[in-house]
Structure 1
Amino acid sequence: MLVQVTEGIHLLSVQFPYGMRQVNCYVIEGKNGVTIVDTGSYAEQAIGIWQEALPEGTKVEKILLTHSHTDHIGLAKWLRETYQAPLVIAKQGFEEMQKFHARLQAYEGNGTNMYPFFAKHGGPSVSEKTMLEQLDADYFEPDELLEDQQEIRLGNHLFEAIWTPGHSPDHFCFLNKSNGAMLIGDHVLNGISPLIPIWNEQDGNPMAVYFESLEKIAKLPVSIGLPGHGSMIQDVPARIHELRVGHEQRMQQILDAITDSGNTAGELAQAVYGFEKMSMRHSAEFLMTLTRILYMESVGKVQGLEREGKIYYHRAG
C-alpha cells in the first residue's frame, strides 16, 4: 500500500466513495516516528486503508495538512485520536475553518434558502445551510500553527512552508531544500487543472492570486512535485507552463462565447463545457468559469453589469 516516491517519503493512495474519491497522502520516515501529510475524507473505506498501512502501535510524530479542504482534512481528528499525534496546519488554514464555523453558527435561515452568490451568477441551486454544514463538518482545533516561510522538520529533513493561495486561500506547499522534493498539495496536478473556486465577493480574485503563486513555485529549485492527486510531477516548471496555457485557452473560449446581450457565468460555463442544464454536478465548471471571468474583468477584457438581480458579462471595449 505504501509506495516510496522519493527518499524517505511514501505515497498512500486513500480512496473514499464520494467527492474526489481519492487523495494522495504521504508517510514520511523519521527517527521519532512517521509524519503523515493529508488524510482523505472521512469514510470507513479510508479508515480501513490507514489501519492497514499504519498498524496499531505505529508511532506518528505529527499530522501535517496542506490546506483545509475536506479530502485533505476529513480524517484529521480520527488520525489524531488513533495515533496520539499533534495536528499541524497553517495559521491561514485555521482561519478558513474558523470563518465558515462562525458563519454557520450565525446562520438564521433554513434549508430552503438558496446560496445567493451562486444564484446571482447563474450557478447551481444549492441550500446555503447545507453548504455551510458541509464546509464546517471537519472543523477541529489544531495543536500547532504554521507561518509562511517557516521551517518545519518532516521526518529526518527540514522543509520550508510556502504559502500558495489560489486553489484555496490557505494552501501551502512544503519544499525540502536539501533535495528539491516538494509536497505540492493541489497547487499543481498532472493531467487535470486544479479547481480555483470562489465562494463570495470577499474572496476577491482567486485566479490572479493563483497565477502569482504558480510563478513563485516556478522559480524554486523543485526536483519533483508530490501532488494531492494523480501521478508525481517530474518537471514542475513545464507543468506550470501547461496550466497557464490551458487557462488562457479557456479564457479565450469564454470571450468567444459571450453574446451581444451579455451572459451570466452559468450560461458561459454551459457554452464552454457543453452541458445542457446547470446543476450541482457542474459546480466545478461553473466555479472555474466564474473565477476566469473575474480575472478577465480585472485586466479589462470583460465587464459585468447587474440586471434583474443577476450579473451579465459583456466583452469590454
Structure 2
Amino acid sequence: MAGNVVTAASAEQRAAWFDGAMPQVERVRPGLWSIPVPIPINPLRYVLVYALEIPDGVAIIDAGWNTDEAYAALVAGLGTAGYEIGDVKSVLVTHMHPDHYGLAGRVREGSGAWIGLHEADARLLHDRYDEDAMVSLIDLQRRQLVKCGVPGLTADELAQASKSVRDFVTMVMPDRLIEDGERLELPGWDLRALWTPGHTPGHLCFVEPERKLLFSGDHVLAKITPHVAAHPQSGPNPLADYLGSLREIGGLDVDEVLPAHEFRFLDLAARIDYVIAHHEERLAEIERAVAESPGLTCWDIATRLSWSRPWETIPLYMRRTANNETLAHLVWLEARGLLTRVPGEPGDPDLWFPPGSPHPPSP
C-alpha cells in the first residue's frame, strides 16, 4: 500500500524513485555512503547498501542480490567512496531475504569480511536456500495454501513461486549472530542492533544515537508498507511481532531514517503512526468481510480486500503474497478472539467466522 507523504532527506533519491531511475551513490554524512545496488525484475528496483567508514576500511549494511550486475554496482559504489571490495571488513545484514543477504557470501569471498545476522533468521537459512531442504519447505507452503482455500493446481504453482530466487543467493552461514541491543564493534561509530521481527523473524535495524540515524532495513520504508505474512518460516503471529517492534522503535530520538529501499526520510514517528493505522484499517476490513459472509476461506477473503489494483490484474505469484498477508491478519484477529477459525479436515480449507456466530461443526 502506498504510504503517507514523508519528508525526503535526499531530494535526489526521491526524484530518482519517482522517475523510475537508479539513484546516484551519495555521501550521506562524513564517513557514510549510500550505494544503490540493482535488483533484477523487481518493482523495488534496488537495495540501498550503506557503507560506514572505519579506520581500516568500511563496514556495509546489507549487500544486495547475488548477480554480476549487482556485484559490479557494489564494487563501483565502493570505488566512488574511495574503497575496494577488499576493504570491506564486515557485512551487517538486516534480514535473510535475497536482496539483502544474497551477495554477502560473495563479498566475504572477495574481502574476508565477517557476516552478521540475527539468530532467528540464521537458523532458517538452510531450509530456505539449500536446494535439497527447499523441497520440504515448498511442500509445507503448498499445504498451507490448501488450508487457505487455494485450489489444488494453483497451490502447487504458488508454493514454488519463490524457488527461482535461490539463484540470487550465495548460501553461506553467518560468522556472527547479532543480538538485540548489541553494540557493534565499529571504531568511530556507536552502532547498536535493534531486533525488529515481523517482516522476518530475525529482522534487525541499526541505530546510531550520536548521529541520530536509524538504518531501518525493510522494517520502515518511506512509501510502502513491508510484506508481513504468515508462512512456514514466519513464526506463529508475525503481525503481532511486527506491530510490537514498530512501537518499540517509535520513540527513538533520530533525525533521519535510512531504509533499504526507496529513499531516505525524516519523521519516523509519523511514518510509524501511519503504518500502524494502515494495518488497523486492514484488520477492520477483514472483520467486515467475515461478518458479511461467515465461513469464508483465507483465499476468499483475500480476493475481497482492497489492493493497489483489482484482484483479477494481480499476477498469480503476487496473489500468494496477498494471501499470506491476509492470513497474518486473520491470525492476529484470532489471537484476540475477534474471529474464529474452524479447521478443515486434511485437504480441506479452514473457514473463518465472527466470534460466537453459529457455524457448522467440524466433521
* TM-score after normalising by structure 2: 0.79
Specify the alignment match of 1:166 in structure 2.
198
Shift of residue 261 of structure 1? 3.9
Q: How many residues align?
A: 316
**Residue 313, structure 1, aligned to residue 352, structure 2:** yes
| More RCO (CA 8 Å, sep 6+) | 2
Correspondence for 1:281: 318
1:143, distance to aligned residue in structure 2 (A): 2.0
Match 2:148 to one of 121, 126, 129: 121
Deviations 1:189-229, CA, capped at 9 Å, x for gaps:
11101111221387211111111101110122222211111
Shift of 1:101: 5.8
Contact 1:100 1:132 in 2 (8 A): no
Whether contact under 8 Å (2:214, 2:256) holds in the other structure is: yes
Between the aligned partners of 1:291 and 1:202, the Cα distance in structure 2 is: 9
Describe the shift of the 1:174–1:118 C-alpha distance in structure 2 as closer, same or farther (beyond 3 A): same
Equivalent positions of 1:92-171 (< 5 A) are 92-100=120-128, 104-105=132-133, 107=135, 115-123=142-150, 125-126=155-156, 131=162, 134=165, 137-154=169-186, 156-171=188-203
The structural deviation recorded for 1:92 is 2.4
Q: CA deviation at 1:284?
A: 2.1
- State which drifts further: 27-36 or 139-148: 139-148
Give the alignment partner of residue 21 of structure 1, picking from 45, 64, 89. Answer: 45
- Compare 76-85 and 167-176 and name the one that shifted more: 76-85
Bigger proportion of residues as strand: 1
Q: Which residue of 1 aligns with 2:261?
A: 229
Distance 1:108 1:188 in 2: 31
Q: Deviations over 1:16-62 (max 9, x none)?
A: 22344321111111211111111111222212211212244651121
- Measured in 1, the distance between the counterparts of 2:140 and 2:119 equals 32
TM-score between both structures, scaled by the size of structure 1: 0.89
Pairing 1:141-290 to 2, within 5 Å after superposition? 141-154=173-186, 156-200=188-232, 203-258=235-290, 259-272=292-305, 273=307, 274-276=310-312, 279-290=316-327
Q: CA deviation at 1:278?
A: 7.9
Percent identical = 27
What runs of 5+ residues in structure 1 fail to find an aligned partner? none
SS at structure 1 position matched to 2:223:
coil
Query: Gapped runs of 5+ residues in structure 2?
Result: 1-23, 357-363
Q: Deviations over 1:80-132 (max 9, x none)?
A: 112232222222231121454689439579x9997111221134524557756
| Aligned-pair Cα RMSD in Å | 2.8
